[in-house]
Structure 1
């Protein structure tokens, strides 16, 4: 029996640049589909940038027809205003796939790094290097796109376990 292929849309939210990546997951195997960044017009007020982010993500979801989505959780940094704005971008990043009817999973940055690189405090260069190994057809990537593919890969590896736990909880 051939395992079913699941298409996963990974999102690395940001207000200036939001990375996105699409992979296909068949059993334990992942393959590259597409990736890039959504870059809202920085000259627009915050609401306009959020609207541009939503429109870009919604169009990509429509174009790639994923089955599931995964979004990186917000980390809290030393600047509360930056954290708040990142949280707003993350909310839009969760809204776009949810409006398309997709289940949306969330993963902490350290779990993503540990799942892809093997170390919870890996830097962007290490993530990009591992993405190049795991998805060689992706070619050179912008850091935000590499991070989004890392989110998608993390979901591919953790989704089966999460489904088993949910099934046990339903009993």
Structure 2
């Protein structure tokens, strides 16, 4: 299964693509989509850059599903609203290509990748490097995106086991959701 992780941001959005085969996680690609070349006042243009960038990543790497970070309210409400719009552009780009999208909080991602929900960015970068056997540290935005993909890989495995056990036990519908799914 190929998973695309997205760490949305209005200035810089990180993306990370991994392949999952059983317990093996394989790095495919990662990077960022930047809107820094545009003025802050050009919000629609910045959102279009994100939308088009995500669509390009999806077309190039052909993921089967995606995971996106859930935004929490910051101290600055205006920043939260802007980040929410960036996130919306990313999710819209994903679902416009009929890609299933799961959502995870930063705390869930850090717990899954580092084992500690309050880990700092450098710890996430190092664990992503180790888990994917990368030669060097990925950038912070790409590391978070790869971490989201890894989180979904772990969640998908656990949910598949639950669904299989549910089928064996004969109880319930066997429909489980990872994080928040759309």
* CA distance 1:133–1:100, change in 2 (3 Å): same
Question: What is the distance in 1 between the residues matched to 2:48 and 2:87?
Answer: 13
Give the distance between the partners of 1:169 and 1:162, measured in 2 at CA: 14
Matches within 5 A, 1:72-151: 72-137=69-134, 139-151=136-148
Assess, with a 3 A threshold, how the Cα gap between structure 1 residues 143 and 59 changes in structure 2: closer, same or farther. Answer: same
Dislocated runs of 4+, deviation >6 Å: none
Counterpart CA distance in 2 for 1:29 and 1:136 is: 11
Residue 136 of structure 1: how far off its partner (Å): 1.9
Report which of the two structures shows the higher radius of gyration computed on alpha carbons. 2
> What is the CA–CA distance in structure 2 between the aligned matches of 1:87 and 1:150, rounded to whole Å?
20
| TM-score normalised by structure 2 residue count | 0.85
Please provide the CA RMSD for this pair.
Answer: 1.8
State the SS of the aligned residue for 1:15: coil
Deviations 1:145-166 (A, max 9, x none): 0100000000000013335459
Is the Cα contact below 8 Å between 1:16 and 1:42 reproduced in 2? no
Match of 1:42?
A: 38
Q: In 2 relative to 1, CA 99–169 (structure 1 residues): closer, same or farther, beyond 3 Å?
A: farther
Contact 2:126/2:137, CA 8 A, preserved across alignment: no
Aligned to 1:170: 173
Gaps of 5+ in 2: 175-182
Q: Is the 8 A contact 1:7 1:24 kept in 2?
A: yes
C-alpha separation in 2, matches of 1:138 and 1:144: 17
Over 3 Å counting, the alpha-carbon distance change for 1:48 and 1:136 in structure 2 is same
- Aligned pair count reads 166
Flag structure 1 segments of 5+ consecutive residues without an equivalent. 1-5
TM-score, with length taken from structure 1: 0.91
Match of 1:51 among 40, 48, 54: 48
